[in-house]
């Protein structure tokens, strides 16, 4: 019989942050609109590619002829700006209960934010930050490269095929697929990029552990 599409089974969960656990769109859009205007770019076009990537990678897409050192310098300034601006940062629907439900289960945060920004946004949203974190400083390549997810799986001690990725962006969903993992898409952006399952938010995910190491994700309203 075919697998039940309303249940995903895994042994470890790899969680993106922005758009997946934390709604930081207001800050992201404020900061990137300003950056785009400073560089003579259309802010609306810029916002189409900012989600899911590290800032320097976004800048390389938008300004392909610019030296990468300049992108890294701008990225450092952008991270500081975003870390200082927490106005409007709130949890995604269902995120507090979800983080409580996975507290004792193998899970990791895999985010394009650096450590300082991850702590600031998770704190502003009132969410527990996972003990295992793969932040921007810990990878050599931004999503859609799978490095972050592969590193998260390795640190938790599981094969990629045993992991489910939670993601909201095109770059993140591509990274999860490239890592050989199943992807649960969260929120309005994710549905356009063919995740294995898509839900509006985390209120549609119920977590069940069977005591033998299996984690069952019961999906409603997908």
Bridge partner list, 136:
none
For residue 16, indicate whether it is catalytic.
Answer: yes
* Whole-number pLDDT of residue 163: 98
* Whole-number pLDDT of residue 3: 47
Neighbours of 40 (CB within 10 A): 7
* Whole-number pLDDT of residue 222: 57
This prediction's pTM: 0.90
Catalytically annotated residue among 16, 25, 114, 145? 16
Bridge partner list, 198:
185
Residue ranges, the chain, pLDDT below 50: 1-3
For 89-103, give the DSSP string.
Answer: -EEPTTHHHHHHHTT
Catalytically annotated residue among 18, 74, 114, 145? 18
For residue 87, indicate whether it is catalytic.
Answer: no
Tell how far CA 156 is from the center of its chain: 17
Q: Which two tokens stand for residue 40?
A: 């003579």
Counting beta carbons within 10 angstroms of the beta carbon of residue 96, is it exposed (0 to 12), middle (13 to 18) or buried (19 or more)? middle
pLDDT in tens, 55-103: 899 999 999 999 999 999 999 999 999 999 999 999 999 999 999 999 9
């Amino acid at each position: 019989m075919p697998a039940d599409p309303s249940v995903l089974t895994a042994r470890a969960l790899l969680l993106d942050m922005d758009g997946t656990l934390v709604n930081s769109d207001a800050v992201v859009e404020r900061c990137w609109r300003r950056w785009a205007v400073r560089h003579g770019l259309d802010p609306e076009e810029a916002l189409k590619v900012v989600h899911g990537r590290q800032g320097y990678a976004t800048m390389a897409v938008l300004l392909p002829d610019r030296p990468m050192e300049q992108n890294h310098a701008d990225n450092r300034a952008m991270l500081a700006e975003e870390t200082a601006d927490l106005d409007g940062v709130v949890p995604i629907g269902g995120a507090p209960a979800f983080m409580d439900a996975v507290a004792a289960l193998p899970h990791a945060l895999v985010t394009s934010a650096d450590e300082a920004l991850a702590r600031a946004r998770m704190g502003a949203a009132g969410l527990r930050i996972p003990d295992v974190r793969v932040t921007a400083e810990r990878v050599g390549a931004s999503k859609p490269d799978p490095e972050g997810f592969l590193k998260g799986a390795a640190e938790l001690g599981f094969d990629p095929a045993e992991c489910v990725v939670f993601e909201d962006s095109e770059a993140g969903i591509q990274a999860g697929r490239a890592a050989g993992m199943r992807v649960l898409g969260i929120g309005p952006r994710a549905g356009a990029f063919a995740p294995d399952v898509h839900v509006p938010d985390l209120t549609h995910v119920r977590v069940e552990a069977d005591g033998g190491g299996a984690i069952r994700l019961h999906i409603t309203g997908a």
